[in-house]
Structure 1
């Protein structure tokens, strides 16, 4: 019996999505599962315990179930990625179960509740700021340090650093000292790891969603995925927002691309990858808010319709 891999190009691949509880991380895990992968979904919120983010309705167990329902194998492993021993135990489990790791997605964050936009660095509580750096940078470093020895055993491994913005878009002011550092750090990590992975046939990239309609963002706007267009009146860029699935499809397309090394070390975004790989968001559109905003910053008056 032969298996048709046309719709499951990642069949037999083992993936770790660190930070898969909700938002982009959950969607990435599910889309990798839809492509046939075995996905370890990790995070701090479980059906028995809620993280500091305080969103009890989104759990890693549910993510794992969605992965399996999509056609992959979802495995939920409660993990605090700031605790090296927990991450080490996670990697040891993956090694025992499969003896390999093909894709590492570093999506750990959970720091939005700490944000103080339009606040000067010296007016931000130091502990809040340092916590953002722990969540957005230190957690990624710990995870890569402990998972990469397993990933590099076979050539072709992929590391995806999920962040907010690209190297180009983040040249501007991100309105919070610590948030800026936390979201630029993964871009630099991808570049450095890309240089180091070259010698073993691996690839590292940073991937950013655009204006993502995560569960948390929809709640902030008082909207649902069905009513999101009502938010355009409050924020015009909301018209170019995207579902988390869009980012999930972007990462799945990268993981399935045998020529993905051409992206090595770069920072990419969902709209850019949609054009390259031909996928769309759930509504059939291809929103590209980062390119739109770059045109705006350059003094142009782009049409929103042309970038959706």
Structure 2
């Protein structure tokens, strides 16, 4: 350790569960919690021996756990399908048996990008695809909270973070597909409702959204890497405001380490908003305000520059 830049251990002794930590925001959140000294249980369906319906073999929960440990925490990979209540109950029982407590639950379960057909009306979307999106983005979150919260509420001060796409403000309009809109608005309401239920046991619940996320899947979609991601701006101009998963990872880690985080309970928050509050930056030193920028773009403004929001 560099004595001039000591490792922060704000979350030493704290136990976190990041549900849906195989890649993207979930992986980055787990790593940043680990960087603050937390023990982080990471779950997902893709392991070194098995691939989920997403079909990606390049990211696994075992790798995420190793990254958490390398960052300074302790990563524990537990293969879990969060649509199977018995598996989630077994996960909660394992955490209880091994640690005796849970301080942070991050619900980042999704994996439905391959099902979204933007531009199609509700009745033109295959019903099975639409219902699967709701299972992945809504039902899985409900099952996880129902099974895990009895452990979390044993100790005052627990934190629940619902990861979604968009804020309550940005999602007032239609989110491009009937089922996707429901799947991404539901976690916002879940956080608000859980804040109500957690209030008298000293718990906090929030929803958090990244901006335009440069996830592994998004980079592959545009045929770029993290090193040359700006090349994708020619295909998608709004990608100029894109942020790395590190940004939302740091947002959740700062929330978890904030002793006064209850002031946020029930709120719909963004990585950019939390960066302005806590003073952190993205991995490249920038501080993107994606939703500020995108709100103007979606409003039809043509003279707005992403540079003014970084």
TM superposition score category, shorter chain reference: over 0.9
The residue number in structure 1 matching 2:189 is 188
The residue number in structure 2 matching 1:302 is 304
Q: Secondary structure at the match of 2:259?
A: coil
The residue number in structure 2 matching 1:44 is 45
Q: How does 1:203-242 map to 2 (within 5 A)?
A: 203-242=204-243
In structure 2, C-alpha distance between the alignment counterparts of 1:15 and 1:276, rounded to whole Å: 23
Q: Does 1:140 align with 2:171?
A: no
The residue number in structure 1 matching 2:57 is 56
Q: Secondary structure at the match of 2:249?
A: helix
Contact 1:165-1:210 within 8 A present in 2 as well:
yes
RMSD: 1.3
Tell me the CA shift for residue 234 of structure 1.
1.2
Summarize deviations over 1:98-122 as a string: whole Å, max 9, x none: 1100000000000000010000000
Contact 1:16-1:101 within 8 A present in 2 as well:
yes
Q: Secondary structure at the match of 1:128?
A: helix
The residue number in structure 2 matching 1:283 is 284
In structure 2, C-alpha distance between the alignment counterparts of 1:72 and 1:208, rounded to whole Å: 24
Tell me the CA shift for residue 249 of structure 1.
0.3
Summarize deviations over 1:111-160 as a string: whole Å, max 9, x none: 00001000000011100000000000000000000000000001000000
Tell me the CA shift for residue 173 of structure 1.
1.5
Contact 1:237-1:289 within 8 A present in 2 as well:
no
The residue number in structure 2 matching 1:77 is 78
Q: How does 1:143-162 map to 2 (within 5 A)?
A: 143-162=144-163
Tell me the CA shift for residue 298 of structure 1.
5.1
In structure 2, C-alpha distance between the alignment counterparts of 1:43 and 1:297, rounded to whole Å: 33
Any gaps of 5 or more consecutive residues in structure 2?
A: 1-5
Distance 1:195 1:307, change over 3 A: same
Q: Secondary structure at the match of 1:204?
A: strand
Tell me the CA shift for residue 299 of structure 1.
6.0
In structure 2, C-alpha distance between the alignment counterparts of 1:235 and 1:223, rounded to whole Å: 12
Contact 2:38-2:74 within 8 A present in 1 as well:
yes
Q: Secondary structure at the match of 1:91?
A: helix
Summarize deviations over 1:223-254 as a string: whole Å, max 9, x none: 00001000111111111100001010000000
Summarize deviations over 1:167-212 as a string: whole Å, max 9, x none: 0001111111000000000000000000111101100000000000
Aligned residues: 305
In structure 2, C-alpha distance between the alignment counterparts of 1:187 and 1:227, rounded to whole Å: 33
The residue number in structure 2 matching 1:105 is 106
The residue number in structure 1 matching 2:19 is 18
Distance 1:305 1:51, change over 3 A: same
Q: TM-score, normalised by structure 2?
A: 0.96
Contact 2:7-2:36 within 8 A present in 1 as well:
no
Query: Which range is displaced more, 279-288 or 289-298?
Result: 289-298
Tell me the CA shift for residue 302 of structure 1.
3.1
Contact 1:163-1:207 within 8 A present in 2 as well:
yes
In structure 1, C-alpha distance between the alignment counterparts of 2:41 and 2:8, rounded to whole Å: 20
The residue number in structure 1 matching 2:122 is 121
